[in-house]
Amino acid sequence: MMFTTEEILETIRMIQVEHLDIRTVTLGIDLLDCRRDRVEDTVRSLREKLLESTRGFLDTIKKVELEYGIPIVNKRVAITPVSLLLSSLDIEDYIYLARELDKTAIDIGLDFIGGYTCFLEYEISDTDRVFLRSIPLVLNETERLCASIVTATTRAGINLDAIKETAYIILETARVKNNPIVCTKLIVLSNPPPDNPFMAGAFHGIKRGQRVINVGISGPGAVRSAIERLPKDGDIVSIAEEIKRISFKITRAGEFIGKEIARRLGISSVSVDISLAPTPQKGDSVARIIERIGVKHFGAPGTTGLLFLLNDALKKGGLMASSSVGGLSGTFIPVSEDKGIAEAVGKGALTLEKLEALTNVCSVGLDMVPIPGDISPYTLMGIILDEMAVGVMHNKTTAVRILPVPGGRPGEWVEFGGLLGRAPIAKVNETPCEGLFERGGRIPPPISSYRN
Amino acid sequence: MKRAIITVTGINHTGIVAGISSVLANFGVNILDITQTIMGDIFVMALLVDITGMDDVTPLVERLLEEGDRLKVKVSFEREEIFRAMHRI
């Protein structure tokens, strides 16, 4: 036998006991050549290209899943940002296009389609305003379409006017049906990558190629178990080394599966996102990894340091394993999707402010955080701005996917169901910040963006 | 050559090797290598098999899982390349 029993069992255990899986295979599709003069023609062309480009996609995934024994949880498509496919001053045009995209995703059998996206980091055009206004309606009327709004980049700086508009859009999206779950399909971004496989922020970047496979792996359970097997009093270096080792293995598995799917579909480009993405399943938690290393609850003093170690070791192992690392590639800390993180909020160990601090050392931002629905729009703007500043200053992606709960009070638990999990509503610092947003304008880019 | 590794784990009892290998024989699948150990009470067997020429492994995998249920053991099927990706630099 070319592999030892221990090696074989390690793989089997990682998959069966520790929930190692391919979280998502996201097919990026370039739709720029579908633009036509009339919206009806554009929509027809989009639908035809999507159906053609996804032929065999789901069947191939199913076969690979069975042959290699690794579950592939989500099958998604990311498209060229819709705001680049359609420029209209009629909101009905956007709603029509969105409905057709959603219908096409359902017809194909996709879990999600991402790319209802606009870029506002420099300015908000008249058509952007119409596009923005369509978001609350579109997300409440569609099932599988995901939207993202870019309000800042390290090159452009931070557009306060865009943040102002966006805050109202988020609140309105939650209000249409009094349902915060709709906001799980809406994310605000700084420095978004063009090959992100994860929703809600996935879109297909310009010039990324006609079709690209982007793979996202999930392995918090495998990392936690590996650390549990180490002696409790071992040096911190032993933890870093073990994380690198596991990260190498799970990245290699993800890269292999991604390349195999791409090969079978005749696609040459593959990008592997090595993000550690937790799920509400028992043990599949980033918080539990950190707690195992040595803090009582996630969010306790010391958490930022440990998350830095985890995120860094993960990248070192992953980058050794693959030359195709892309996407977000960090450690996710989505509150409701990670049982340990949600519990830490419930116990008062983790606050919104600490969460923001943590995003300095990991990916991706204030993610899946329920907040009271009666939050002042200005407070929400302030929260978004602070998170954008983290991304712009550090030249990395940050995001805000915050879920206003109509009638909700801090501490009350909210159920989102399935992989979206559950979490208590976070307490928000309501010290006023109106003056700032009455000024408007764009915060200039940081000196670190001038690299030429 | 296309190869896969079939892993069988569970409480040790008679008939496990016979049950699994007869399924493989019925599908005309050749066993290239086999290792078997007992860890405590747990029976662990790994079989390296040749699946060249088998375009769709679905019926084989389904039948193996069924046999696993009958024998009250856990059966996993994985193409060999995944182990190479994870365990060899």
**Per-residue pLDDT reduced to its tens digit, A88-123:** 999 999 999 999 999 999 999 999 999 999 999 999
Probe site for chain A from B44, B49, B52, B87 (most A CB atoms < 10 A): B87
User: Is 0.85 exceeded by the ipTM?
Assistant: yes
Binary contact (B33, A1; C-beta < 8 A): yes
The per-residue pLDDT for A16 is 86
Residue of B nearest to A1 (CA): B33
Domain ranges of chain A: 1-444
Q: What 8-state DSSP symbol labels residue A180?
A: G
The per-residue pLDDT for A305 is 98
The per-residue pLDDT for A194 is 95
The per-residue pLDDT for A1 is 76
The per-residue pLDDT for B41 is 81
Residues in contact with A113: Cβ distance below 8 Å, sequence separation at least 6, in sequence order: A76, A77, A78, A79, A101, A102, A104, A105, A144, A145, A146
Q: What is the pTM of this model?
A: 0.95
Residue of B nearest to A15 (CA): B76
Q: Are B26 and B62 in contact (CB under 8 A)?
A: no
**Total domains, chain B:** 1
- Distance between start and end Cα atoms, chain B: 21
Fold type of domain A1-444 = Anaerobic Ribonucleotide-triphosphate Reductase Large Chain (3.20.70)
Instruction: Spell out, as residue ranges, where chain A has pLDDT lower than 70.
Output: none
The C-alpha atoms of residue A241 and residue A229 are separated, in whole angstroms, by: 13
Token reading at A252: 């290699």
Token reading at A168: 């109202």
Identity (one letter) of the amino acid at B58?
T
CA distance B47 to chain A (A): 8
- How many angstroms separate the most distant Cα atoms in chain A? 70
The per-residue pLDDT for A134 is 98
Residue of B nearest to A7 (CA): B87
From A12, A67, A260, residue closest to B7, measured CB to CB = A12
Instruction: Please return the burial class of B1, using the count of CB atoms within 10 Å of its CB with bins 0-12, 13-18 and 19+.
Output: exposed
Chain B residues within 8 A of A15 when measuring between CB atoms: 76
User: Angle, to 10 degrees, between the axis of helix A303-321 and the axis of helix A286-293?
Assistant: 110
The full DSSP string for B24-84 is HHHTTPEEEEEEEEEETTEEEEEEEEE-TT-S--HHHHHHHHHHHHHHTEEEEEEETHHHH
**Per-residue pLDDT reduced to its tens digit, A435-448:** 999 999 999 999 99
Query: Strand order of the sheet with strand B30-39?
Result: B30-39, B42-50, B3-11, B73-79
Query: What is the torsional sign of CA A208, A211, A216, A217?
Result: negative
CATH number at residue B31: 3.30.70.260
Identity (one letter) of the amino acid at A238?
S
Element of type H or E holding A28: strand A21-29
| Owning domain of residue B39 | 3-87
Tens-digit pLDDT string for chain B (89 aa): 899 999 999 999 999 999 999 999 999 999 999 999 888 888 999 999 999 989 899 999 999 999 999 999 999 999 999 999 999 98
**Residue B38, strand partner residues:** B43
Binary contact (B9, A9; C-beta < 8 A): yes
